[in-house]
Amino acid sequence: MAISLRNNHPDLFSEHLRTTKLTSIFNSMDALRQKFGKHTLFLGSSHLVHKFSQHLGQRGDEALRKLELLPGETKRRRLAIPIMVAENI
């Protein structure tokens, strides 16, 4: 059995159909992200990363600055208050 590489023309419409399908998927993802937040959709293989906090386990506990939050702060949103540090007082 022989395979001929002659007279093989690429299909002109298959790439357009693929692009149309992907555009539809991306539009649906954008609508979900806008409605429920940007961290609602993520790649399934990165589920464990989203499930656990940063630096737990092997590398130790969370930093103290992340544990002691000011009123109004969340784990992902910090208040923009400058920190003044005085050395050798």
Indicate the range of 13-17, 53-57, 67-71 predicted with least confidence: 53-57
Res. 81 pLDDT band, cuts 50 70 90? confident
First to last CA, the chain: 88
CB burial of 2-31 (b: ≥16 within 10 Å; e: otherwise) equals eeeeeeeeeeeeeeeeeeeeeeeeeeeeee
Predicted pLDDT at 80:
78
- In the chain, where the domains are located: 16-67
